[in-house]
Amino acid sequence: MIRQYELVELVKTYDPGADEDSLNRAYVFAMKAHGSQSRASGDPYFSHPLGVAEILARMKLDSASIITGLLHDTVEDTDATLDDIEQLFGPEVSRLVDGVTKLTRIELQSDHTRHAENFRKLVLAMSNDIRVLLVKLADRLHNMQTLHHIENPEKRKRIAAETMEIYAPLAERMGMQRLKDELEDLSFREVNGDAYQSIVTRLEFLRKEGVDRTRRVIDELNTVLKEGGIEAAITGREKAPYSIWRKMQRKNVEFEQLSDIMAFRIVVDSVPHCYQALGLLHAHYSMVPGRFKDYISTPKPNDYRSLHTCLIGPERQRIEVQIRTVEMHDIAEYGVAAHWVYKQDERNVEGRQYRWLRELLDILDHASGPEEFLEHTKLEMFQDQVFCFTPKGDLIALPRGATPVDFAYAVHSQVGDTCVGAKLNGRIVPLSSVLNNGDQVEIVTSKAQTPSPTWERFVVTGRARSRIRRFVRQQQRGQYIELGRAMLEREFRHENYDFTLKGIDGVLKKFKADDADDLFAAVGAGLHGAREVLSSVYPAAKNKRKPEGVVSLLAHRRKKQKSAHAIPITGLIPGMAVHFAGCCHPLPGDRIVGIVTTGKGVTIHTIDCDTLESFAETPERWLDVGWERSDDGNQPHVGRLHVVLSNEPGSLGNLSTIIGKAEGNISNLKITNRSTDFFEMLVDVEVRDVRHLTEIMAALRAAPSINSVERARG
Ligand code: MN
């Protein structure tokens, strides 16, 4: 057990301005608070917070973190309160202790590590100050170091598995290699004791054999570098048992050679010297192809920087070499913690506080590559989520603002559909209550319950919303069927036709309806007019009134509008049906050709339409056509544009404003592709002629949020 003055001295070695008085007071406070409590080992309980504080001091953390380490279990396990801590040590420390306490409570609540991924996110979400997480990791490390004192083997295994799945990955993501290795090895020993032992034994054997050789390798590397004018500290580092084990599993190999267990590390004083050292080594030894990595120019997402290479080195030994500066080395070992130490040039406490967070975010920003842990690294992201427990301890992740109804639907849609009430941490609450991180949620269900439309007002998850809507729609459908049927009966009666199910059945296909109810519902919902149905069942009814097509009312109206004007095309056989190709949307002014299509009349394409290639073999189908000079210039034609827009607020609005100002009318929009940066879309615009469209395109091209505009061809 480290003594009081030793701890203070240790802190002062790297932080001469440390708050000595508070450190001393925290030491005494925690010792008194834990009093006669003891640990599984029989040691006084206080040895644990003290051990945690020592680990934090070895990471060279600030006084507040170390004081938090000393106090971290007092609120949960003793009579001390957060108020006491705030009074004695100030708001910063009390906030940190509060954070660690909350994490501890959640840890106690969750027996299941099935949802390790969510749990890691939860831990991140709750650590709004990175120091909370560092204290928690140190706490876990100390508990792992003393794990063997716990008698219950199942409990030991559970704690070890949790460490492996949750805390080691968190340490890695924060770039704390040494902490990660230690947590993994301690867990590995517990979870897979046999494998651990066999690796350790083998390591000992190789180590004895290799001592001299390691020495000779280091000496020779040193000489090579010195002759090239580079001063370096070279060490041989034994790889951690768990990482050897992982490598054996991954590559399915045995480890036999020194090179499998040793890595050599060359620490120099500047970045240029890193590359010079690398050059000297590569000039002197052959390098093993495919193993060189430059993490200096491209750091890893957790900010790890170093040069890696593999050489056929001294004595024809294959060796792995890492080259880095002192600073890179410390960052590799201590991760975020080292960053803080390196960049604290001001002594201003408040400035320090913010720099911590800023730097963390900087570091985490580096993860914005397609790296697998990207989504787990961004602290901020998890501030948008809440994590709650089922009564069994399963963890459910939900968006912030989620309610018990969202929770119920996340568990199972059946649970959602039948939920009548909820208990939050044992207390009954309204279904619209907002959930908080760490809440335990129990849903009360009743078979008689059905989703209520009012739930839609407060749920936030898409899943809950769509289930509720679906239910509401089903209920509405009943009403629509009634209504549609009544409308049809009236329409038929009004026109003196018999309304029979047989007649309706005959036209179901035409309306794409599965059965009569389906058609009634569509009529009731206004998708089809009663009149359309009547004229389909009794085509004679059609003749009595205006001629009508089927389809929807909207399309029907358009068609009518168009047929009021003559089609302005010359060169056609009279009476032949004409329509414009949907692939190229020809406009007056475009050079066009007609293609005779059996049963369809003539289709007009632009002369440069890609589709025309497929008619190259059948020249007899081509018709030479042109636009009729018409004084009716108001007839709209549809031009189709392919537009690439920046994916940013307002760009779509911009697009429609520009088109509107230029007197074009957007008749259809379709997004064909969508990425983080861009939207690609097809925009159909009603214009007078090709010149009109060209004007619109020019205006669009001038807009900054629009990346490219061209006419869609084929
Ligand atoms: Mn603890």
Whether the per-residue pLDDT at 697 is higher than 80: the answer is yes
Please indicate whether residue 613 is annotated as part of the active site.
no
Beta partners for residue 312, in sequence order: 286, 318
CA of 105 to the centre of ligand 1 (A): 11
How confident is residue 371, by pLDDT bands cut at 50, 70 and 90? very low
Helix-helix angle 130-145:63-71, to 10 degrees: 50
CA of 131 to the centre of ligand 1 (A): 15
Beta strands at 307-312 and 293-294: parallel, antiparallel or unpaired? antiparallel
C-alpha of residue 9 to centroid of ligand 1, in Å: 23
CA of 415 to the centre of ligand 1 (A): 37
Ligand 1 centroid, distance to 466 Cα (angstroms): 44
Q: What is the DSSP string of 367-382?
A: T-SS-TTHHHH-HHHH
- The Cα–Cα gap between 248 and 264 comes to 20
Domains of the chain by residue range: 4-191, 195-344, 546-631, 637-711
Instruction: Give the residue with greater pLDDT, 417 vs 572.
Output: 417
More confident residue, 357 or 47: 47
Q: Rounded CA gap, 396 and 386, in Å? A: 8
Over the stretch 98-125, which tens digit does the pLDDT of each residue have? 888 887 777 665 554 445 666 666 666 5
320 flagged as catalytic: no
Taking the centre of ligand 1 as the mean of its atom positions, its distance from the CA of residue 133, in whole angstroms, is 13
pLDDT at 147: 92
Which two tokens mark 94?
A: 């009390």
Query: What is the widest separation between alpha-carbon atoms in the chain?
Result: 110
Closest listed residue to residue 186, CA positions, set 207, 164, 208: 164
Q: What percent of the chain has pLDDT over 70?
A: 80
What pLDDT, on the 0 to 100 scale, is given for residue 360? 46
Give the Å distance between the CA of 67 and the centre of ligand 1: 13
How far apart CA 234 and CA 223 sit, in angstroms, is: 11
- The per-residue pLDDT for 51 is 95
Residue 504: name the closest of 470, 473, 528, 480 by CA: 528
Distance of CA 373 from the midpoint of ligand 1 (Å): 28
Nearest C-alpha neighbor of 162 from the set 336, 343, 395 = 395
- Given the residues 20, 77, 327, 442, the one annotated as active site: 77
pLDDT band at 306 (very low <50, low <70, confident <90, very high): very high
Percent of the chain clearing pLDDT 90 (strictly above): 20
Packing angle of the helix pair 516-524, 530-537 (nearest 10 deg): 140
CATH architecture of the domain formed by 195-344 = 2-Layer Sandwich (3.30)
pLDDT band at 470 (very low <50, low <70, confident <90, very high): confident
Cα(390) to centroid of ligand 1, in Å?
25
For residue 46, name the pLDDT band (cuts at 50, 70, 90).
very high
* C-alpha of residue 501 to centroid of ligand 1, in Å: 76
CATH number 1.10.10.10 given to 4-191 = no
- Would you state the pLDDT for residue 599? 59
| Banded pLDDT at 475 (limits 50, 70, 90) | confident
> Is 637-711 the same fold as 4-191?
no
Q: How far apart are CA 140 and CA 143, in angstroms?
A: 5
CA of 396 to the centre of ligand 1 (A): 25
d(CA 644, CA 709): 7
Answer whether residue 76 shows pLDDT above 80: yes
DSSP, collapsed to helix, strand or coil, labels residue 438 as: coil
Is the distance from CB of 138 to CB of 399 less than 8 angstroms? no
Distance CA 404, CA 416 (A): 9
3-state helix, strand, coil in the chain (%, to 5): 55, 15, 30
Q: What is the pLDDT of residue 555?
A: 36
Tokens 């599993």 belong to residue? 249
Q: Which of 34, 41, 107, 106 is nearest to 70 (CA)?
A: 34
Lowest-confidence pick of 73-77, 334-338, 374-378, 517-521: 374-378
Closest CA to 559 of 571, 550, 568, 570: 550
**Is pLDDT above 90 for 203?**
no
Q: Residue 550 — pLDDT band, cuts 50, 70, 90?
A: very low
Phi, psi of 578 (to 5 degrees): -125, 135
What is the spatial distance between Cα 698 and Cα 638, in angstroms, rounded to a whole number?
17
pLDDT tens string 609-645: 888 888 877 766 777 777 776 545 567 788 899 898 8
Distance between CA atoms of 190 and 158, rounded to whole angstroms? 9
Better-scored residue on pLDDT, 93 or 546:
93
The class level of CATH for 637-711 reads alpha beta
Ligand 1 mean position to 72 CA, how many Å?
A: 6
Say which of 15, 20, 62, 76 is annotated catalytic. 76
Distance 647 CA to ligand 1 centre (A): 47
Q: What spacing in Å lies between the alpha carbon of 49 and ligand 1's midpoint?
A: 6
Q: Report how far apart the first and last C-alpha atoms of the chain are (Å, whole number).
A: 79
Which are the contacts of 517, defined by CB distance < 8 A and separation ≥ 6? Answer: 481
DSSP 689: S
Helix H, strand E, coil C: the string for 538-605 is CHHHHHHCCCCCCCCHHHHHHHHHHHCCCCCEECCCCCCCEEECCCCCCCECECEEEEEECCCEEEEE
**pLDDT score recorded for residue 559:** 38
**pLDDT 10s digits, 316-326:** 777 889 999 98
Q: What pairs with residue 320 in β-bridges?
A: 263, 310
pTM value > 0.85: no
Q: How far is the CA of 349 from the centre of ligand 1 (A)?
A: 26
Determine whether 620 is exposed, middle or buried from the number of CB atoms within 10 Å of its CB (0-12, 13-18, 19+): exposed
Contacts of 582 (CB under 8 A, 6+ apart): none
State the distance from the centre of ligand 1 to the C-alpha of 71, rounded, in angstroms.
Answer: 9
The angle subtended at Cα 91 by Cα 86 and Cα 92, nearest 5°, is: 125
How much is the pLDDT for 557? Answer: 35
